Amino acid sequence: MLVVENLSKSYGSKVVLHGISFSLEGGQIVGLLGANGAGKSSLLKILAGLLREHGGLVSLQGQAIGLESKKITAYCPDRPIYPPSHTAHNLLNLCADFFSDFDKDKALDLIERFKLPLDLPFKSFSKGQKERLQLIFTLSRRAQLFLFDEPLGGIDPLGRQEILDLITKERGQESTILIATHLVHDIQDCLDKALFLQNGGLVAFETTATLKNRHGSVEQAYKDLMHV
């Protein structure tokens, strides 16, 4: 479904992704794990079609990343992106206008379930509420590929499981999810596979079952592979 071949990325003279290759199949939840600066956000932005200058090839459902792939890719960045003065209600209407695959009723249900205010400006939301709203709008698309950049960062420990449940249950069965996070312990039980990045290189890409066999857990695999 997603094929990445010999992908490299530099900012000026600084190389941050070193010719990495992997492919993802439909229906998988994959963890993108690595230390600060490993290249996770850069990789997600390339897959989302937001960073277009790179080496190597990336294709989604047989087509190079571009306008067509963006129609079936939902990307949730690691920081708030919505205009501060817009209410959740305004933003809901904007998403519905902008994305042809946006399910407005689903977004409204989730806003209600998470008790988020519909009529207050985005700037008055707490960090965790902002993250929840972005997650809800991302998950309310019927996309094939979902890209989440640190979706749990601002969420309190009890809320994290709720968010992970949301991500795992609310996606389409055929869609693929790639989640970049440092919270390996919190996320490990919902992953099918994990991709380990270190200094822009791909260290390992294995199923959770293999990692558990070899290391006991994904968290321990992270420590062993990254020499923490």
Q: How far apart are CA 179 and CA 33, in angstroms?
A: 8
Closest distance of CB 181 from ligand ATP, Å: 9
Ramachandran region of residue 43, left (φ > 0), alpha (ψ -120 to 50) or beta?
A: alpha
Q: Does 34 bind ligand ATP (CB under 6 A)?
A: yes
- 25: contact with ligand ATP by CB under 6 A: no
Under rule CB under 6 A, residue 49 binds ligand ATP: no
Q: Which is nearer to ligand ATP, 40 or 130 (CB)?
A: 40
Q: Cβ closer to ligand ATP: 29 or 38?
A: 38
Amino acid at 24: L
Between residues 182 and 215, which has the closer beta carbon with respect to ligand ATP?
A: 182
Contacts of 35 (CB under 8 A, 6+ apart): 198, 226
**Cα distance between residue 190 and residue 140, in whole Å:** 20
CB of 103 to ligand ATP, least distance (A): 29
C-alpha to C-alpha distance for 117 and 132, rounded to whole angstroms? 12
Pair 17, 9: CB distance under 8 Å? yes
Give yes or no for residue 37 binding ligand ATP (CB under 6 A).
yes
Shortest distance (Å) from residue 200 CB to ligand ATP = 7
At its nearest, how many Å lie between ligand ATP and the CB of residue 80? 15
- Does residue 208 touch ligand ATP according to CB under 6 A? no
39 binds ligand ATP (CB under 6 A): yes
Position among 4, 20, 33, 42 found at the interface with ligand ATP (CB under 6 A): 42
Q: With 0-12 CB in 10 A as exposed, 13-18 as middle and 19+ as buried, what is 19? A: middle
Nearer to ligand ATP, 36 or 173 (CB): 36
SS3 state at 8: strand
| 187 φ/ψ sector (left φ>0, alpha ψ -120 to 50, else beta) | alpha
Q: Which of 4, 41, 139, 211 binds ligand ATP (CB under 6 A)?
A: 41
Least separation, in Å, of the C-beta of 14 and ligand ATP? 6
For residue 181, state whether it binds ligand ATP (rule: CB under 6 A). Answer: no
Among residues 104, 79, 78, 100, the alpha carbon closest in space to that of 91 is found at 104
Q: Which residues bind ligand ATP (CB under 6 A)?
A: 11, 14, 16, 34, 36-42
